[in-house]
Structure 1
Amino acid sequence: MEIDASDLDGIRELVNIGVGKAAGILSEMTGSTIELTIPNISIYSQEESGQIISQIGTERYSAISLDFKGVFSGMTYTLFPAESAHILIDAITGEELSEDRPEQPFSSIQAETLKEVGNILINGVMGSITNVLKSQLTYSLPTYSEADMPALIQNVRQEHREAILLAETHMFIKNLDIEGKILIIMGAQSFETLIQRVREISRDEEP
């Protein structure tokens, strides 16, 4: 299926609605005002997945993943680079920033904090998408892991799903800019259903 700029704009709007809801939940959870933005969205086929590595590099990420299934199925990742992951934990837990934090391993409590944040982000975005598709999904429990981008992409390829949506995120909390990425991987038919619904909404909104 050919994707044009208006399709990307429609998907970006859906994702922005989802992260907006997630920001509200995280703000309540932390007692701090949190802003989330999506400056860029890209879509790749499985064959093009190597371009993701070219675009964002090979650095190591804290990854929160979960599977979803229903009228369509797939998997999602919320990814935080090591530096951003430590800043996020410090900001949420109130721990003092440590100069050597990128080299420090995460404790189980810190990993659970990241997993909770990732789960909130994923549920916000997927909730926005399922509202548009007027469908319901069931989700697996989120899992936490650490891996570099080539290893993550290899996992994606093994899923044999044809469409990969990459959304770059910026989270602003306590004047800190925390980078992250959201990957949504789904089958071609599921993705076509999403695009068709986005186009229908766009047509309905035309004057």
Structure 2
Amino acid sequence: MASAVASTPRHEQALAVDPHELVRALDALPPDAVLLERRPAWAERSAHYARSAVGRLPALAPRIEALERGVRRIVETRDPGPVVATHGDFYEANVLLVGGAGCRRVAAVLDVDTLGPGHRVDDLACMTGHLAVLETLAPQVYPGVRGLVDRCLAAFGESTDPVGLRARTAGVVLSLLPGAPRDALAEVWLAVAEELLAGAEDRLPLG
């Protein structure tokens, strides 16, 4: 009944998935992965990525450094949840789907060499951060991805801290800046990360 979609680029496949299906795929990771070596999450290395981004884009240093400070402040002060089995590099190109439009499910998760202990929020932030920049790479190929990002933030926020999720997603986008194919695109991605961080800060309790 469900047929593999190997002929469809994996990036395009992921745009059709229910975000809750991505959570279920992570729930299915082998629990004994918590016994493996732990790797720091993208947002936990924000200072490193900020230094690299400033080296490439020195004119944007004040914005990059302010972004990094904001991400680090939230990462260091918000509860990330329990330690669980995590993929470590969970983004759309590492997810294969089966099924027709409207009923896609995850058939396989690829590149599991990064499997290990961590926090679920970081896998979800990795997925959301990559999706958040996808439309800027090819708007004609990935129309509507912004809506998927919003649905991911809403769905993923049901099981993780919505503040930490947005800040850690901003940290993932920050990690992508040094590798952006063009400086102008890196600046666009910086604005994406700033918007995500602002969304986190807007949800912080007053006082």
- What TM-score, normalized by structure 2, do the two folds share? 0.27
Relative to its length, the structure with more helix (as a share) is: 2
Relative contact order: is structure 1 or structure 2 higher (C-alpha 8 Å, sep ≥ 6)? 1
Q: Which has more strand, going by share of residues?
A: 1
